[in-house]
Amino acid sequence: MTVRVHGIEPHRVEAAVFDLGGVFLAGGVESVRGFGARHGLAADAWDAIRSELFHEAGVWSACERGEVPFEHFVARLRELVASAGGEVSALDARNFMGNMTDDAAERLRHDVVAAAARVHAVMPTALLTNNIPEWRDGWRSILDLAALFDVVIDSSEVGIRKPEPAIYELTRARLDLPHEAIFFLDDLGVNLKAARALGWQTLRYDDTTRVLEVLDALAASRGPRSAATTP
Q: What mean pLDDT do residues 20-27 have? A: 91
pLDDT at 114 over 60: yes
Torsion sign, CA atoms 55, 205, 140, 32: positive
Sign of CA pseudo-dihedral 49, 54, 57, 61: positive
Asked whether residue 223 carries a pLDDT value surpassing 80, the answer given is yes
Q: Which DSSP state fits 178? A: -
Which sequence spans correspond to the domains of the chain? 10-27+104-229, 29-94
Report whether pLDDT(24) > 90: yes
Q: Over 131-168, what HEC string results?
A: CCHHHHHHHHCCCCHHHHCCEEEEHHHHCCCCCCHHHH
**CB atoms < 10 A from the CB of 11, how many?**
13
Q: Domain 10-27+104-229 has what CATH class?
A: alpha beta
Is residue 39 a contact partner of residue 63, using CB atoms and an 8 Å limit? no
The 10s digit of each residue's pLDDT in 134-158 is: 999 989 999 999 999 999 999 999 9
- Rounded mean pLDDT of the chain? 93
Q: Go through the chain and tell me how many residues it has.
A: 231
Q: What does the pLDDT look like over 118-127, one tens digit per residue?
A: 999 999 999 9
C-alpha R_g of the chain: 19
Residues 86 and 39: beta-carbon distance below 8 Å? yes
pLDDT for 31: 81
Strands 182-186 and 201-204: parallel
When mean pLDDT is compared across 12-21, 27-36, 58-67, the lowest value belongs to 27-36
pLDDT (tens digit, 9 = 90+) per residue, 188-221? 999 999 999 999 999 999 999 999 999 999 999 9
